[in-house]
Structure formats: C-alpha cells, structure tokens
Structure 1
Amino acid sequence: MTPGATPPQGLQGTGAVTGAAASLPTRVLRHGGYEALAMLRNGEQLVLAIVLPMLALTALVITPLLDAYGPSRIDIAAPGVLALCTMSTAFTGQGIATGFDRRYGVLRFLSTTPLGRSGLILGKAVAVAVVLAVQLVVIGGAAALLGWSPRAEGILPAAVLLLVGSAAFTALGLLVAGTLRPEATLAVTNLVWILLAAAGGVIIPATSLPVAAEPFISVLPSAALGDGLRSALVDGTLDPVACLVLLAWAALASLAAIRWFKWS
C-alpha cells in the first residue's frame, strides 16, 4: 500500500481482516436451532415427541382409567401428557442424540470450536425448549379440541414447572449419555421413560398409588412434574414442594453430569 493511501474498509485501525466471531448468545441460538431441526426431522424422535403423547392423550380420554382422579378425564390427562412430552424431549430424545454424537466424535469436535463446551450445553437446552414449545402447541391444541380448559391463573406456574422440569430431565439425559455407551443410553432412556410413564406419578397422581410406594414415587422428578402441572392447570396454584423437588433433581443431576460426563 502506497504512503497516504486509504486502507481498505475493514482494515482501518485494526491491521487485520474483518470477520469477528459471532457473540456467544448468537452461536448458542444457532446451534440450538440446528439441533431442534435435527430432532424434529428425525422420524424416531418425532414419534417419541408427538405421536406417542398424542396416542396417550387420546387413550386416556376415551377410556375410564382416570375417572376416579379428577373432575374430568381431559383435565387430568392433559397435564400428565405435557409432563410426558417434557420427559420424552429433554430426557429420552436429548439423551439418545447426545449419546450417539459422543460416539461419532461430534461432541469432542464441537467442544473445540468457538461454541465451546458451555455453548454446546446451552445450545442443547435451547433445542429442548424449542421442541417442547412445538409439543405444547400440538398437544395443547389437541387437548383443547377434546374439551380441555386449563385455569388461566395456572398458566404461569405451569410454565415455571415446565422450565424447571425440562432443566432437570435434560441434565439427567446428559448424565446418562455422558457416562454410558450409546446402545446402553438408548435402552436405559427408553426403559426409564416407559417405567416413569406407567408408574412414576406422571399420569396417575402419586397420592393415588399404593401407600407403600407413595413416599418413593413422590420424590421422583416425574411425579413432581405431573403433580405440579395438575395443581397449576386444574387448581390454578403453584405446588412449592413439586417445584423444590424438581430444582433439587436439576441441581444434583447437573453436578453429577459436570463431574462424570465424558466428551469422547
């Protein structure tokens, strides 16, 4: 460059080529969007996220299984199925995806990029939130068509519980995916989902289960989320015990994942 010439735009005052890296929030949102699309485009994930909860909702409404637990079948079924959606996306779906990403070296590669490990985890949390929002629209819309009318004053408490619940189940899913082989992660996450859905207090309130089992089931994150959502959407109140149980699970699972998670 000749003396007195004007430097090209982008080099003025820097001495380097332009192209600053995107900010961490931007990187996290982009990665979260990518992971959310990948989950929604995956047939197995879509069945787990939408089809199975929809079938569960329909079956619970047309059968007398829930007649003894509330004012109407749909009022008890809808909160429970929303809790199932949270478990399927945050725990099973995220656990399986992370487990196979770990096997193929995707986690190790992405952790060395500007996204970093913290950005990668935050991106996964964003993906869970996006997919869960899609589930809430689809399942909530279907429940409304079936006659569901949740209490308006319970919407905010329900949102808080869903947020804390998704954090707890995401941490649990990452813990399983980061410590077991992918095949074991696939088996464990699906088996746990089935067991919690059947007897974990998600659909049937923990207080209605056998007395001997109630103390153990009531401290499970599944029972806390199911009972908490029913309190919010049926009674319009926030269940503080359920919220504290979910916060405890989120904290303990996060600490365990930080301690034992293996990136490769």
Structure 2
Amino acid sequence: MSTVPSPAGFAAAGRTISRPATLAKRILQQGRHETITMLRNGEQLTLAIVLPLLGLIALAVTPLLDGLGHPRIDIATPGILALCAMSTAFTGQGIATGFDRRYGVLRFLSTTPLGRAGLIAGKVLAVLAVLVVQVAVISFVALLIGWRPDFPGLLLGVPLLVLGALSFSSLGLLIAGTARPEATLALANLLWILFGALGGIVLPANRLPGLMQDIVHFLPSGALGDAMRQAFLGGGLDVFAVVILILWSVLASAAAIKWFKWS
C-alpha cells in the first residue's frame, strides 16, 4: 500500500516547499507593478512630469509672480511640487483606479491574498514612488534655473508633500470608487485644471480673483500650496494649512471607505 510522502521526504528528494509571501512583500510587489504601469503610460507621464515642467518654466519667465518679495523661481517651485502631488495622487491615480474598477481588475485583486487593504496600500506606495521621481526631475530643472532652497524648507517640504499626496489620494479614490469611469475621467481632469489655475496650489491667493482669495485656503489645493510656500520661503510651518489637509484626508478617507464600490 502506498503512503503520502512527508515534507521531509520531499526535501530529501531535492524538492522545496514554497511558502506564501508575506503581506508586506505582496504590497511591495503590487506597488512596484502600479509604479511601472504609471511611468509607462504616456498620458500619465505627461500629466505627472511634462505639464508641471512647462508650468515651472512659464512661471519663471513671465511676470505673474513679480512683486511678491522673492525671485520668481523661488515662489514657483514649491507650488509646482505641490501640483506634482495632486497630478499623481488625485488625477492619475483616480483615473487609473476608475478604469480598473470598470474592467473588474479591482474586484479580482480584492479576492486574492493581497486583499483590499493590500491593494489600496500598493496604490498609495506607487503614488509616493512616482512622486519621488517627479520631485527629483522638477527640483533638478529648478536648480538649473536658479532655485536655491533653504535646508529647513526641505525638511518641512517632504512630509508636507506626503500629507498632500495622502489627501489627494483619498479624494481620487473616493471619486473613482463612486462615479462611472467616464465621469471620473472628466471630473478628475476638470478639477485638475480648476485646482491648478484657481485653487491656490500654483499661484498664491493674492494673485487670484477677489472671490477666490478667501476660498482657496479651505481647499486641499490651496492648503498644500500655502504650506509648501510657507515652508520654502519662510522656513516655517503653516499650521492652519496642515489642519485643513488632515481634515480633507480624514473626511475623504471615511467617505471612500463607506461608499467605495469595487465593481
């Protein structure tokens, strides 16, 4: 009568027993996949790097930022870095997630050992990885143009960008998980334009129309722009802006958890 070989018997025969990957490794692999996909997508690459670069150069050579007490490039760079966080975390990630949801990718992955929490963590990890690439490219070009950031600004700018990315990721996932993909595409692009032009993220509030000057400080775009400029130009922390970003993160995350539809 035959018997089932024991694990020791398999090992003795030169075979190894594979073990399931840990959750951390699954998240890292998913984040790597999401990052490569985003960087290979021409549309997202344009949104993430090309348009912010064009904005940086335009602000550096036009008089839009004159009269604010600092060189143009010193005022423009923090706002463009904030725009990078919004481009990737909100618009790029929101659109990608919306179409993944439409084609059943989210529903399929949520049933794998990765799980829903792992999938979301992988997406956030990808956003942060792409943001590192964006910051490196934008900062390099800004340094060539004449940007000379202070060290305290750099120390504050990094966690502020991470907080901004988390806030916009929450908003992007909320829209992608509740609206149809076509509506997500239109709304994400429209809000990117409105936030970029009138939301206080690139241009300081005193450069906006009168009505918007009092509103933008309560928007995630205006809060991130204010916080970044305060950090790099004044070397200080805009506490009000940080509180606004945290509130947007908490509220959008709670809404996404409650209403997000995986299919």
TM-score by length of 1: 0.94
More helix by share: 2
Deviations 1:82-113 (A, max 9, x none): 01101100000000000000000000000000
Between the aligned partners of 2:146 and 2:73, the Cα distance in structure 1 is: 7
8 A contact 1:92–1:190 mirrored in 2: yes
Between the aligned partners of 1:67 and 1:102, the Cα distance in structure 2 is: 45
Q: Which residue of 2 aligns with 1:43?
A: 42
> 1:43 deviation in Å?
0.4
Please give the secondary structure, in 2, of the residue aligned with 1:113.
coil
Q: Give the 4+ runs in structure 1 shifted more than 4 A.
A: 1-6
> 1:213 deviation in Å?
2.9
Please give the secondary structure, in 2, of the residue aligned with 1:114.
coil
The residue type equivalent to 2:52 in the other structure is: P
Residues 1:63 and 2:62 are matched in the alignment = yes
Between the aligned partners of 1:170 and 1:97, the Cα distance in structure 2 is: 12
Q: Which residue of 1 aligns with 2:216?
A: 217
Q: Which residue of 2 aligns with 1:9?
A: 11
> 1:69 deviation in Å?
2.6
Between the aligned partners of 2:230 and 2:134, the Cα distance in structure 1 is: 20
Relative to structure 1, the CA distance from residue 207 to residue 3 in structure 2 (aligned partners, 3 Å threshold; closer, same or farther) is: closer
8 A contact 1:33–1:127 mirrored in 2: yes
Between the aligned partners of 2:31 and 2:93, the Cα distance in structure 1 is: 12
Q: Which residue of 2 aligns with 1:14?
A: none
Between the aligned partners of 1:263 and 1:4, the Cα distance in structure 2 is: 41
Between the aligned partners of 2:251 and 2:186, the Cα distance in structure 1 is: 23
The residue type equivalent to 1:93 in the other structure is: G
Deviations 1:92-136 (A, max 9, x none): 000000000000000000000000000000000000000000000
Q: Which residue of 1 aligns with 2:144?
A: 145
Q: Which residue of 1 aligns with 2:77?
A: 78
In the alignment, structure 1 segments of 5+ residues that lack a partner are: 12-16
Q: What is the root-mean-square deviation in Å for CA atoms of aligned residues?
A: 2.0
Deviations 1:28-85 (A, max 9, x none): 0110010000000000000000100000001110111111234110011000100110
The residue type equivalent to 1:66 in the other structure is: L
> 1:4 deviation in Å?
11
Between the aligned partners of 1:5 and 1:256, the Cα distance in structure 2 is: 48
Alignment of 1:46-195 (within 5 A): 46-195=45-194
Relative to structure 1, the CA distance from residue 3 to residue 139 in structure 2 (aligned partners, 3 Å threshold; closer, same or farther) is: closer
Relative to structure 1, the CA distance from residue 112 to residue 71 in structure 2 (aligned partners, 3 Å threshold; closer, same or farther) is: same
Q: Comparing 69-78 with 82-91, which one deviates more in the overlay?
A: 69-78
> 1:207 deviation in Å?
4.3
> 1:3 deviation in Å?
10
8 A contact 1:49–1:85 mirrored in 2: yes
> 1:215 deviation in Å?
2.7
Please give the secondary structure, in 1, of the residue aligned with 2:244.
helix
Alignment of 1:20-35 (within 5 A): 20-35=19-34
Alignment identity in percent? 58
Please give the secondary structure, in 1, of the residue aligned with 2:125.
helix
The residue type equivalent to 1:209 in the other structure is: L
8 A contact 1:153–1:236 mirrored in 2: yes
Relative to structure 1, the CA distance from residue 142 to residue 3 in structure 2 (aligned partners, 3 Å threshold; closer, same or farther) is: closer
Relative to structure 1, the CA distance from residue 10 to residue 21 in structure 2 (aligned partners, 3 Å threshold; closer, same or farther) is: farther
8 A contact 1:70–1:76 mirrored in 2: no
In the alignment, structure 2 segments of 5+ residues that lack a partner are: none
